[in-house]
Amino acid sequence: MTEKKIDYQEQLDALRNAIDNLDREVVERLSRRQQQVDQIVALKKKHHLPVYHPAREEDLISGRRRQALDVGLDPDFIEELYRVIMRQSRIEQTGKMAVKGIRPEATVLIVGGYGEMGRYFDSCFSAAGYRVRLMGRNDWPEVAVFCEGVDLAIISVPSDKTAETIRTLAPHLPAHAVMTDVTSIKKEPLEAMLQSHNGPVLGLHPLFGPTTSTLDKQIIVATTGRDDEACGWVLDQFAAWGAIVVSATADEHDEIMAVVQALRHFATFAFGQFLASRKVPIRRTLEFSSPIYRLELGMVGRLFAQDPALYSEIIFASEERRELLKAYIESLSNNLSMVESGDKAQFMEEFKKIADWFGPFGEQAIRESSFLIDKLIERF
C-alpha cells in the first residue's frame, strides 16, 4: 500500500511540475506578445492611428475559436481568455498613447474646467502635452485673456447654461479655434455655436463619466457643425486615446439619447421610488433573489448612489424628453385594466407582439445577459 501511494505521489508531482513549466511558458509568451504590442504602439503613435481596431479583434477571436475546436478546447473559454488579453493590450496601448498629442502645441480652453468633467478632460489633454487653461464662473472678467491664442474651446457646463455660455464666449475666440460642447443634448448647443462662432464647430457627447479610468472603448458621439477638416484632429485625439467615435446628426442624437438616457434613467428612478414607497427590505430580497434580479437591482442602486443634479439635468434636459416621459407614464397606465382583470391572454398577446418587434436582438440579449450573470455568480 505504501509503495503504491509513493508511486501515485511521484506521478502526481511529475504532472504538476509539467503544468508549472507550461504555465511559465505561457507567461513568457505573453511577455513576448506584449513586446510585439509595444512595437505596434510605436507605429500607431507615429502615424496617429486609433488604439481600437474592431475588425482586427473580431478576426483574431474567430481564428482562436476555430483553433480551439481543432485542438479539443472549449471555444467560449478561449474567446473569454483572449478578450481579457486584448483588453489588457488596449489598456496598455491607451496608457502609452495618452502621452501622445495629435497637436501637442495646441492650447485647450475648458470652460467649466473646475467641474468633474472639466477636470477629467484637463487630465487627458494635459497628459498628452497640450497647454490647458481652466476657466470657472469667477473668471469671466478676464475672458479675453483666457481666449487668446486658443485652438480648442470645450464648453463643459450644465446643459441649461450651455447656450448662454456659448454666446458669451464666442466673440472672444480666435477665428481658427474649434468650438465644442460636451452636453447630453446637441441640437440647441450646436445651433448656438454655429450662430455665435464663425470658425470650426463640433458637437460632442461623451457617454462616460469623470470616474472613467480609461477611454478604452468608451463612446463619444460627434455631431458635425462646421469645417470637418479643421475639427478632425480633435476626433483623432479621442481615437488615439482608445475611444470609439460615433457620428450622428444633432436631431438623431437627441432622439436616440432621449431613450438611451432620459427614459432609461427615469424608468429606473420610478422603480426605485416605488420600492422605497413600499419600504421593501432590499437586503432581505437579495437572499431570495436570482442573479438577474440582483443585477437589475444593482443598476437601480447604482443610480441612487450618484449625483441627483446630474441625472435631473439629463432627464429633464429638453421639452422633447419631457414629452417622451409623459408618453411613457401614459403607456404604463394603459396596462391598468389588464392588471385589474388578470387578463393572461392579453398579456401573452402583447408579449408576443413585443418579442416579434425585438426580433433577433432577443437571442443576443440572452447571450449577453447570461455572460453578465455568470460573472456576477463568480464574484458574489
Most confident of 44-48, 129-133, 237-241: 129-133
87-91, 158-162, 290-294, 357-361: least confident range: 87-91
Query: Does residue 330 lie in a domain region?
Result: yes
**Average pLDDT over the chain, rounded to an integer:** 90
Between 88 and 29, the more confident residue is 29
Query: Does residue 154 lie in a domain region?
Result: yes
Number of other residues whose CB lies within 10 A of the CB of residue 337: 10
Domain of 320 in residue numbering reads as 253-379
pTM reported for the whole predicted model: 0.73
Residues 79 and 209 in one domain: no
Residues 6+ apart with CB under 8 A from 249: 223, 224
The b-or-e profile of 191-224 (16+ CB within 10 A means b, else e) is: bbbbebbebbbbbbbbbeeeeeebbbbbebbbbe
Q: Cell 496617429, residue?
A: 48
Looking at residue 97, its pLDDT comes to: 59
> For residues 181 and 155, is the Cβ–Cβ distance under 8 A?
yes
Domain count, the chain: 3
Looking at residue 182, its pLDDT comes to: 96
Residues 87 and 141 in one domain: no
Beta strands in 5-142 (DSSP E): 107-111, 131-135
Between 147 and 38, the more confident residue is 147
Query: Does residue 241 lie in a domain region?
Result: yes
Residues 112 and 236 in one domain: yes
Count CA atoms closer than 13 A to 281's CA, side-chain side: 5
Residues 373 and 322 in one domain: yes
β-strands 178-181, 131-135 pairing: unpaired
**DSSP alpha helix (H) spans, 258-360:** 264-277, 282-288, 291-304, 308-315, 319-333, 336-341, 344-358
Question: At residue 331, what is the residue type?
Answer: S
